[in-house]
Amino acid sequence: FIDLPAPSNLSSWWNFGSLLGICLIVQIATGLFLAMHYTADTSMAFSSVAHICLDVNNGWLLRNLHANGASFFFICIYLHIGRGMYYGSFLFKETW
């Protein structure tokens, strides 16, 4: 292994904070694009989703990114909070 000048607590778990940021940005961006075509009216909601998937360029990709991104966001948030609870970083006064 290569001996790099990095702290010992820097591991692959460290990346979940930045993954949360990326997930949140993707969720906001895809949500805005989906909201441009979605209709909340109860009689037209299903047809507007069908319109997004069939008629909008890469609408199916936007919808899948938004749906799967939400699941990945919650997985990352649970792992990020769980890591903080495991290492007891909520006790650090400097953090707050």
Residue type, 74: F
pLDDT at 80: 83
pTM over 0.85: no
Domain count, the chain: 1
Q: Would 5 be classed as within a structural domain?
A: no
Q: Would 4 be classed as within a structural domain?
A: no
Q: Would 75 be classed as within a structural domain?
A: yes
Q: Would 11 be classed as within a structural domain?
A: no
pLDDT at 15: 77
Q: What is the pLDDT along the chain (96 residues), one digit of tens a residue?
A: 677 777 776 777 777 788 889 999 999 999 999 999 999 999 999 999 999 999 999 999 999 999 999 999 999 889 888 888 888 877 888 766
Residue 27: CB partners within 8 Å, gap ≥ 6? Answer: 66, 69, 70, 73
pLDDT at 4: 74
Three-state SS for 96? Answer: coil
Residue 31: CB partners within 8 Å, gap ≥ 6? Answer: 66
Q: Could you list the residue range(s) of the whole structural domain that residue 40 is in?
A: 17-91
- Using CA atoms, how far residue 32 sits from 27, 28, 38, 55, in Å, is 8, 6, 10, 17
